[in-house]
Amino acid sequence: MLDFLKLPVQKFQDFILLGFSAATNVFRSPHYSDDVFLQMDAIGVGSLPIVMMIGFVSGVIMAMQMARALQTYGAEGEVGKIVSVALVRELGPLLTALLVAGRNSSGIASEIGSMRVTEQIDAMRALGTDPIQKLVTPRLIATAFVLPLLTVIADFIGLIGGFLIARYLLDIPTSQYWTSAWQILEYNDLAQGLIKPFVFAIIIAMVGCFYGLRTTGGTQGVGKATTTAVVVADIWIFVFTALIGRIFLYFA
Amino acid sequence: MSPKPAVLRLEDVSLFFGDTAGLDHVNFELRAGETRVLFGEAGAGKTTLLKVALGLLKPDSGKVYLFGQDIGGMTEQELFDVRARVGILFQEGGLFDSLTIAENVAYPLLNQRVLLAEAAANGGTQRPVEERVQEALNFVELGQTLEKVPSELSGGMRRRVGIARAVVTGPALLLYDSPTAGLDPITANTIIALLLKEREIRNTATVMVTHRYLDGHLMANFRYNPSSGKMERASRGQSEAATVKFCVMKNGLLLFEGTEAELQAAQDPYVRKFLRHGSS
Ligand SMILES: Nc1ncnc2c1ncn2[C@@H]1O[C@H](COP(=O)(O)OP(=O)(O)OP(=O)(O)O)[C@@H](O)[C@H]1O
Ligand SMILES: [Mg+2]
C-alpha cells in the first residue's frame, strides 16, 4: 500500500548513511587535508564576490524600503535595528546559503558526477581509496568551515549597505545607526545566525555529493544530477531556515 | 597435472538493477595462467561481471571468490587489500583527470595499503615508485608523457595509460573492460599486442571484454615476440588455445563458454554473431 513511499524512504536512508560515513571519516585517517584546502578555496574565495554583492544589496534595499514604513511613525532612526535583526537572523544566512548552493551544490554534483560516469569513482575504490573519505569528507569540512565565515561577511557588508542609506539618504548620525544595530542583537540572534549557516553547509555539501555519487546515464546524467542537487539543496535550506527560526522563537 | 588454483570464481551470482538483469545466475571460473575473452552485446552484463568480481558491485545472491577468499562478507577496507592484487582497465578509462599521467600510474602504488606495507617491509630492496611508473609507461610505449594530463592524450594513448596503471603493481589477475572499443583497427591491434606482451612476460590470469572477434582470435592464436617486438602466430606446440576460452553473454546470462573451435562450431545464432563481427 505504501509502495510509493519505498523509493523516497530508501533514498533518504542512503543520504543519511552517506552523511554518517562522511562525518565519521572526519575523525579517521587518512586525512586528505590538501583536498580540504582546495575545496575551501573553491567554495570560499570563489563565492566571496557574489556573496558580498548580495549582502550589500540586501542591506541597501532593506534600509531604503523600511525607512518609508518607519517614517510614518517618525521612527526612521531605528532603521539600524531592522537591518541588523533581519540580516543577522534570517537574510544573511539564507541568501548566502542559496547563493553558495547554486554555485557549489551544483559544482560538487557535476564534478563528482563526471567522475562517476567516467568510472573514476570505481577506479578509486579499485585502487585503494575510499571515495567518501577522499571526495565527500573534504567538501563537507570545507563548506562547514567556510559558509559561516561567508555569512558573517555578508551580514557585515549588508550592515554597511544599510549604513550608507541611513547616513546619506536618511541623515541618521553614524553612531546612532551602529549603536542601534549592535544593541538590538541578542545572544540568541547571533547563535541563530551562526548555527544556520553551519546546518546549511552540511546540506549544501552533502546534497551535492549525494547526487554526484548517484549519477548514472553518461553526460546527460551529470546535467540532471547538477540541477537536481541545486533544487533539492534549496528546498532543504528553506525547510531548515523555517525550522531553526521556529526553534529559536520557542526558546527565546 | 593438478589443476591450477582458481583466481576468480563466481558461483550462481545474480545482480538485478530493478527489472534489468546485470547478471543472471552466472557461474564462472578462471584459473592461474588462463585467459577469458568475454563477448556480448551492449548491456549484456560484461562490465557488471567485472565489477562484481572486484566487489565494486554487491551481488543480490551467489558467491564471489577472489584468490580463494569469499569476498561477500568483507568490509571495504578488507576488499582494498584483495583488490590490490588485481589490475583493472575500465571501459570509460577511469583515469583521474586532475592528476598527471605519472601520478595516475603511481596511484595504486601509493594508495594500496598492502602494497605500501610490502614496500615498507622490503625496505631498500623494493625499487622506487618513480622507477616502476617509468617502467610501466615504457611498457606501453608512453615513456615520454609523464607530466601530461589525461585530457592532452588521444583515446588510444589514454587506453594505454590505463593498461600501464593496471599492470604497474604486478597483479595476479587482470581485468580489461573493452580495451579496443572505439579505436581504429590499427590502434586496436597495438593494444592487443600490449596484452599479449604482458602475457608473454608474466602470464597473468586475464579477463578481456570485447566486441571484436579479432581481439579474441589474436589472444588465442598469437604471441608476442620479444626480439622482433611484434605479434606472431604461435606455433602449434606453444599454442595458447588451451588456456584461452571464450564466453558469450546475453541479458545477464552466460550463454556460452568454450574454446575457439567450439565457438566456431556453435549453432546458436546469437553466439555465431560474434564470429563474424569485424569491428565495432
Ligand atoms: N548502475 C546501474 N544502474 C542501473 N542499471 C545498470 C547499472 N549498471 C548497469 N546497468 C544495466 O545492467 C545491464 C548490464 O550492464 P553492463 O554495463 O554490464 O553491460 P555491458 O555488457 O558492459 O555493455 P557494454 O558493451 O555497452 O559496455 C544493462 O542493461 C545496464 O543498463
Ligand atoms: Mg560495459
- Grid cell for residue A231: 533544487
Give A182's contacts (C-beta < 8 A, 6+ positions apart): A84
pLDDT attached to residue A202: 97
Q: Is residue B162 part of a domain?
A: yes
pLDDT attached to residue B46: 95
Q: Is residue B57 part of a domain?
A: no
pLDDT attached to residue B280: 40
What residues pair up with B225 in beta bridges, in sequence order? B230
Flag if A122 and B56 touch (Cβ within 8 Å).
Answer: yes
Q: Is residue A18 part of a domain?
A: no
Q: Is residue A8 part of a domain?
A: no
Q: Are B169 and B84 in contact (CB under 8 A)?
A: yes
Averaged pLDDT, A7-35: 90
Q: Of B61-70, B155-164, B237-246, where does mean pLDDT reach its minimum?
A: B237-246
Q: How far apart are CA A156 and CA A54, in angstroms?
A: 11
Q: Is residue A16 part of a domain?
A: no
Q: Is residue A55 part of a domain?
A: yes
Give A243's contacts (C-beta < 8 A, 6+ positions apart): none
Please report which helix (H) or strand (E) contains residue B254, including its range.
strand B253-258
Q: Is B17 in the pocket of ligand 1 (CB under 6 A)?
A: yes
Q: Is A217 in the pocket of ligand 1 (CB under 6 A)?
A: no
Q: Is residue A14 part of a domain?
A: no
pLDDT attached to residue A248: 86
Give all strands of the β-sheet with B173-177 in edge-to-edge order.
B86-89, B173-177, B205-209, B35-40, B244-250, B253-258
- Please, which pLDDT band fits residue A195 given cuts at 50, 70 and 90? very high
Q: Is residue A22 part of a domain?
A: no
Distance B28 CA to ligand 1 centre (A): 18
Domain count, chain B: 1
- Grid cell for residue A238: 528553506
> Is residue B95 scored above 90 in pLDDT?
yes
Task: With beta carbons under 8 A apart, name residues in chain B contacting A117.
Answer: 92
Burial of A74 (0-12, 13-18, 19+ CB in 10 A): exposed
- CA nearest to B264, candidates B274, B255, B254: B274
- CA nearest to A79, candidates A92, A60, A54: A60
Distance B47 CA to ligand 1 centre (A): 7
Could you tell me how far CA A142 lies from the centroid of its own chain? 12
Flag if A120 and B108 touch (Cβ within 8 Å).
Answer: no
Q: Is residue B165 part of a domain?
A: yes
What is the pLDDT of chain B when averaged over all its residues? 89
Q: Is B44 in the pocket of ligand 1 (CB under 6 A)?
A: yes
CA dihedral A45, A46, A50, A55 (to 10 degrees): -30
- Please, which pLDDT band fits residue B12 given cuts at 50, 70 and 90? very high
Q: Is residue A23 part of a domain?
A: no
What is the pLDDT of chain A when averaged over all its residues? 92
- Which positions in chain A have a beta carbon within 8 angstroms of at least one beta carbon in chain B? 117-120, 122-130
Residue B92 φ then ψ, to 5°: -90, 10
- CA nearest to B95, candidates A250, A122, A93, A136: A122
Q: DSSP secondary structure string, B123-158?
A: GGGSPPHHHHHHHHHHHTT-TT-TT--GGGS-HHHH
In whole angstroms, how far apart are CA B71 and each of B34, B60, B175, B176?
A: 21, 13, 17, 20
Give all strands of the β-sheet with B6-17 in edge-to-edge order.
B20-31, B6-17, B61-66, B69-70
Q: Is B22 in the pocket of ligand 1 (CB under 6 A)?
A: yes
Three-state SS for B48?
A: helix
Q: Are B163 and B85 in contact (CB under 8 A)?
A: no
> Is residue A79 scored above 80 in pLDDT?
yes
pLDDT attached to residue A71: 86
pLDDT attached to residue B121: 79
Mutation pick for ligand 1 pocket among B10, B37, B47 (CB with most ligand atoms within 8 Å): B47
The dihedral built from the CA positions of residue B165, B168, B169 and B171, taken in this order, carries a sign that is: positive
Distance B43 CA to ligand 1 centre (A): 5
| Min Cα separation A78/chain B (Å) | 53
In whole angstroms, how far apart are CA B94 and each of A120, A224, B121, B161, B193?
A: 4, 21, 30, 10, 22
- CA nearest to A139, candidates A116, A99, A109, A113: A109
Please compute, for residue B114, the number of CA atoms within 13 A of its CA located in the half-sphere on the CB side. 14
pTM of structure = 0.90
Q: Are B69 and B9 in contact (CB under 8 A)?
A: no
Domain coverage including residue A96: 30-251
Q: How far apart are CA A54 and CA B150, in angstroms?
A: 38
Please report which helix (H) or strand (E) contains residue A218, including its range.
helix A218-251
What is the residue whose three cell numbers read 587535508?
A: A33
Other C-beta atoms closer than 10 Å to the C-beta of A85 total: 17
- Please, which pLDDT band fits residue B124 given cuts at 50, 70 and 90? low
For residue range A147-161, what is the model confidence (pLDDT) as tens digits? Answer: 999 999 999 999 999
The answer to ipTM > 0.85 is yes
For residue range A95-135, what is the model confidence (pLDDT) as tens digits? Answer: 999 999 999 999 999 999 999 999 999 999 999 999 999 99
Q: Is residue A7 part of a domain?
A: no
What is the residue whose three cell numbers read 553547509?
A: A201
Q: How far apart are CA A19 and CA B206, in angstroms?
A: 38
Nearest neighbour of B111 by CB, restricted to A117, A118, A128:
A128
pLDDT attached to residue B278: 45
pLDDT attached to residue B238: 58
pLDDT attached to residue B279: 40
* Angle in degrees, CA A158, A77, A164, rounded to 5: 35
* Angle in degrees, CA A99, A103, A105, rounded to 5: 100
Q: How far apart are CA A121 and CA A130, in angstroms?
A: 9
Share of chain B above pLDDT 70, in %: 93
Closest ligand 1 atom to B51 CA: 18
Other C-beta atoms closer than 10 Å to the C-beta of B222 total: 18
Flag if B93 and A118 touch (Cβ within 8 Å).
Answer: yes
B17 touches chain A (CB under 8 A): no
Q: Is B210 in the pocket of ligand 1 (CB under 6 A)?
A: no
Give A61's contacts (C-beta < 8 A, 6+ positions apart): none
Q: Is B48 in the pocket of ligand 1 (CB under 6 A)?
A: yes
pLDDT attached to residue B3: 63
> Is residue B29 scored above 60 in pLDDT?
yes
Averaged pLDDT, A157-169: 94
Alpha carbon nearest to ligand 1 atom 17, residue: B47
Burial of B151 (0-12, 13-18, 19+ CB in 10 A): exposed
Which of A114, A115, A127, A136 is the best mutation test for B, with the most CBs of B within 10 A?
A127
- Grid cell for residue A3: 509502495
- Please, which pLDDT band fits residue A6 given cuts at 50, 70 and 90? confident
> Is residue B240 scored above 70 in pLDDT?
no
Domain count, chain A: 1
- Please, which pLDDT band fits residue A187 given cuts at 50, 70 and 90? confident
pLDDT attached to residue B60: 95
Share of chain B above pLDDT 90, in %: 59
pLDDT attached to residue A137: 96
Domain coverage including residue B158: 98-170
